[in-house]
Structure 1
């Protein structure tokens, strides 16, 4: 992969990381600011449901943050864009669709097939 392409992916990943970290910060401040007293059980249940939903989203984003950091580390050590299974180059279209990917489409398809079976 050309260095210019790697730099483009690095910028994309850094931008995604910054955006996710900002959203996480907003969530923390919003949850600590919400201290309302809800005597109505329906209002309290609605608030708890909303918080649980928000926390599930943030947990998914936390895992994506870890994948982004791993991808940035692969850029730094020169292994970005190489499949961790077969060590072949990962297609540019796949990287554009999912820049945090560690597997080429063939290896990912095989992994999913095995997961479905077992």
Structure 2
């Protein structure tokens, strides 16, 4: 998180310089300002892409309303719309997970397993920045979930 300094009653955050080719490395302090800024930007870019996709879907659904006389063509279009709406619903849920990850960055909890408190590997966070558990804790959770689901 950028360092915050109070000047005349105002909190002023210092900008974190992040080169374009920056990638978090294991040999630097875990969740330092540069790593946090890297993940913040990655999450914000991902959220922007999802939101733009949602806007495009809404526009295409509004523009695509038409009367199709052929039953098979109409059915096909309705199936496509239902699939698109389901995809958008998944994107909406993903946006809320991204927002939660951004809150964890602001609160200083990002990058740490919610179960064990241990650091989540940088490779895992880079691949899935919304991760809340370490790989080991996630695997244990999924095994437990599978066992209970089979009952």
What is the TM-score with the length of structure 2 in the denominator?
Answer: 0.76
The aligned counterpart of 1:113 is 143
- 1:24 & 1:97 partners in 2: Cα distance? 23
Greater strand percent: which structure? 2
- 1:30 & 1:58 partners in 2: Cα distance? 13
The aligned counterpart of 1:88 is 118
- 1:10 & 1:55 partners in 2: Cα distance? 28
- Residue 30 (structure 1) aligned with residue 60 (structure 2): yes
Q: Number of residue pairs matched?
A: 118
1:60-92 deviations in Å (ceiling 9; x for gaps): 111111110000010011100011111111110
- Residue 102 (structure 1) aligned with residue 129 (structure 2): no
1:43-74 deviations in Å (ceiling 9; x for gaps): 11011010011011111111111110000010
Gaps in structure 1 of 5+ consecutive residues: none
Gaps in structure 2 of 5+ consecutive residues: 1-30
Structure 1 runs (4+) greater than 6 angstroms displaced: none
Q: Which has the higher contact order (CA 8 A, sep 6+)?
A: 1
The aligned counterpart of 1:15 is 45
Greater helix percent: which structure? 1
